[in-house]
Amino acid sequence: MSYSDKENINILCAVMQGHGINHAVVCPGSRNAPIVHNLNECPQMKCFPVTDERSAGFFALGMAEQLQEPVAVVVTSGTAVLDLAPAMAEARHRRLPLVVISADRHAAHIGQQMGQAIDQPGVLSRFTLMDVNLVDPHDDLTRWHCNRMANEALLAARRGGPVHINVPYDEPLFNFTVDALPAVRIIRSLAFSADEMAVFDALKPVQSARKPMLVIGQMPQGAVAPRVMDSLESRLAVLVESLGADGGGVPFDELLPLVENNPDFEPDLVIYMGGTLVSKRIKAYLRRLDVPMIEVNRDGEVHDTFGHLSMVLKCSETQALQSMATLFRDEPAYPFAQRWNEALETIKRHFDELRPDFSQMLAVKLALQSVRESGLPFILHFANSQPVRLANLFARQHVRCNRGVNGIEGTTSAAAGCASVISDRVLCVTGDLSFFYDQNALWNSNLHGNLRILLLNNGGGGIFSQLPGLEVSPARDKMVAAGHTTRAEGCCQQHGVDYRAAYGSEDLYSGITWLVQSDSDRPLLLEVVTDIDRDRRIWQQASDAIHL
């Protein structure tokens, strides 16, 4: 038994084996011959040769309908792929799991008068649930990508519908020198049902783990109830940012440098739910740990954020949390969870007791403290970059942020839109580049006095001063960080927004009180003017002072 030397073909065939795909309709051709050869070598695969691609597509469709299982149809490059369109359209409208696998040439050859060479990726996208292009891998990152794409496509087919897997590779085509297919990761998918016992069965891996960790990304307000979180914290290490829980997050990003090389803090299972995480450190930390990871999301989609996903649980995050709370109800406290949560409480207490000098850090800390002490109903909107990272240090309530793609645009506009449809006060905390980029948010007749804006202006993109290595570039301050001397007073006057500025601690204390507690029929804006290097030093000093 021997297999092709094309790594993307071998990864695909191994993933197909892992997903139990046992039937393939194969069409003639030289470009797809390595794929056909591999499938013919796979012990559990049954191959059915059909010459005409149009007929082959419907032949596979009939098999899939009868078996209620994904069936592959393998074609060569060029117009052979287009001949699958009628069968793919039928499969899409009837939700039948047809898996089209097309061989392809290297992208460099497309449009260069090469035979049987068309632009194949996405050519059937009008009729597919998913299209993937398995570029031949050359390192660990591209192998992970190839594996993930193959898993995602086959999981999509099992959800009910056609997918297209395009496989480009170079000549020579017929080197069958590999003794065995590679050991590959298989990502499973499981949908929660309303049956409580089925839910518990799905969560058994969590219950059997001795060092489970729960990581929560961005979630809607109200999705993660504090009482449920409290019931889980003695059994799981719970890492949640201010964007994820109603009670605010824990500043675990500042803890990671102290524990990332300590095996006592390494989990043996990770459950991940919610949207994007702000912390880059947690992503890097979990990517280097080879432990099973389970994702919970209501759509059953694959988000392999940490690189080791083993299962997707299709259900609401709230349902999963409540089920885990019930599952762990009679379990004793786990030492691993206690170790993590005690360390997190130490970091949280450090920032609660911190008294930084005049800086953006002080401005955000005072603003959030004033909101809590006011007793007034507030919705918090934070901009990306430095503001949302400061929120993760000090927010003890839920924070909203345009974190889907992490852009700087639209923060003030999103906060203004929120404020226009509620009577509660909305505090928008934004950096200077975000604010001036979105200053037309104030050119809006729908604004009222419940909109409050805290503008952190240190004359540029402050986060760029914290990126190691960039300080040596003479282009950093002016061209990368967009250094400037712009102030917001004129913009506020033009649009009828009440304005104050703070250049020191005394101005800041009184300004925060005015911004948070004043009654007003017009929006309020407090501009806090700081020094970018001083902001960086104060943040670094605060981090350096952390001890467990």
Query: Could you write out the DSSP letters of every residue in 397-456?
Result: S--B---SS--STTHHHHHHHHHTT-SSEEEEEEEHHHHHHTGGGGS-TT--TTEEEEEE
Q: Is the pLDDT reported for residue 470 higher than 70?
A: no
- At the fourth CATH level, which superfamily is domain 354-544? Thiamin diphosphate (ThDP)-binding fold, Pyr/PP domains (3.40.50.970)
Q: Does the domain at residues 188-350 carry the CATH identifier 3.40.50.1220?
A: yes
Q: Residues of the chain with pLDDT > 70: what percent?
A: 93
| The predicted structure's pLDDT at residue 477 | 59
pLDDT band, residue 71 (cuts 50/70/90): very high
| Structure tokens that stand for 537 in this block | 């030093």
The pLDDT of 175-180, averaged and rounded, is 93
Q: Is the pLDDT reported for residue 203 higher than 90?
A: no
Q: Is the pLDDT reported for residue 390 higher than 80?
A: yes
The pLDDT of 338-367, averaged and rounded, is 95
Residues composing the chain:
548
The pLDDT of 360-377, averaged and rounded, is 96
pLDDT digits (tens, 9 = 90+) for 213-231: 999 999 988 887 777 778 8
pLDDT band, residue 248 (cuts 50/70/90): confident
CB 367 within 8 A of CB 516: yes
| The predicted structure's pLDDT at residue 227 | 74
Which position has the higher pLDDT, 22 or 301? 22
pLDDT digits (tens, 9 = 90+) for 296-310: 988 888 999 999 999
| The predicted structure's pLDDT at residue 368 | 97
| The predicted structure's pLDDT at residue 128 | 95
What's the CA gap between 270 and 289, in Å, rounded? Answer: 10
Q: Which residue has the tokens 């993590």?
A: 340
The pLDDT of 385-398, averaged and rounded, is 94
Side chain identity at residue 388, one-letter code? V
Q: Where are the alpha helices (DSSP H) in 68-192?
A: 85-94, 140-160
Domain positions in the chain: 7-168, 188-350, 354-544
* Residue closest to 449 by CA, chosen among 431, 412, 424, 432: 424
Question: How far does Cα 150 stand from its chain's mean position?
Answer: 19
Q: Which residue has the tokens 């794929």?
A: 35
Tell me how far CA of residue 136 lies from CA of 21, 107, 167, 297, in angstroms. 22, 11, 8, 30
**CATH of 7-168 given 3.40.50.970, 3.50.50.60, 3.40.710.10, 3.90.1150.10:** 3.40.50.970
| Structure tokens that stand for 393 in this block | 């240090």
pTM: 0.87
What's the CA gap between 43 and 24, in Å, rounded? Answer: 13
pLDDT band, residue 479 (cuts 50/70/90): low
Question: How far does Cα 390 stand from its chain's mean position?
Answer: 20
The pLDDT of 133-145, averaged and rounded, is 94
Tell me how far CA of residue 331 lies from CA of 95, 107, 208, 263, 394, in angstroms. 43, 55, 11, 23, 32
The pLDDT of 379-387, averaged and rounded, is 94
| The predicted structure's pLDDT at residue 465 | 55
Instruction: Report the relative pairing of strands 98-104 and 524-529 from DSSP bridges.
Output: unpaired
The pLDDT of 515-520, averaged and rounded, is 96
What's the CA gap between 154 and 71, in Å, rounded? Answer: 10
Q: Is the pLDDT reported for residue 92 higher than 60?
A: yes
Asked if the domains at 7-168 and 354-544 fall in one CATH topology, the answer is: yes
pLDDT band, residue 3 (cuts 50/70/90): very high
Q: Is the pLDDT reported for residue 83 higher than 80?
A: yes
pLDDT digits (tens, 9 = 90+) for 450-466: 999 999 999 876 555 55
pLDDT digits (tens, 9 = 90+) for 494-509: 999 999 999 999 999 9
| The predicted structure's pLDDT at residue 374 | 95
| The predicted structure's pLDDT at residue 216 | 94
The pLDDT of 537-543, averaged and rounded, is 94
The pLDDT of 58-80, averaged and rounded, is 94
Q: Is the pLDDT reported for residue 194 higher than 70?
A: no
Helix (H) or strand (E) holding 527: strand 524-529
What's the CA gap between 507 and 226, in Å, rounded? Answer: 35
| The predicted structure's pLDDT at residue 190 | 81
Q: Is the pLDDT reported for residue 68 higher than 60?
A: yes
Which position has the higher pLDDT, 205 or 132? 132
| The predicted structure's pLDDT at residue 108 | 66
| The predicted structure's pLDDT at residue 462 | 54
What's the CA gap between 408 and 383, in Å, rounded? Answer: 7
Query: Average model confidence (pLDDT) for the chain?
Result: 90
| The predicted structure's pLDDT at residue 245 | 84
pLDDT band, residue 317 (cuts 50/70/90): confident
Least confident of 130-139, 189-198, 282-291, 428-437: 189-198
| The predicted structure's pLDDT at residue 118 | 73
| The predicted structure's pLDDT at residue 318 | 84
Contacts of 405 (CB under 8 A, 6+ apart): none
pLDDT digits (tens, 9 = 90+) for 259-294: 999 999 999 999 999 999 999 999 999 999 989 999
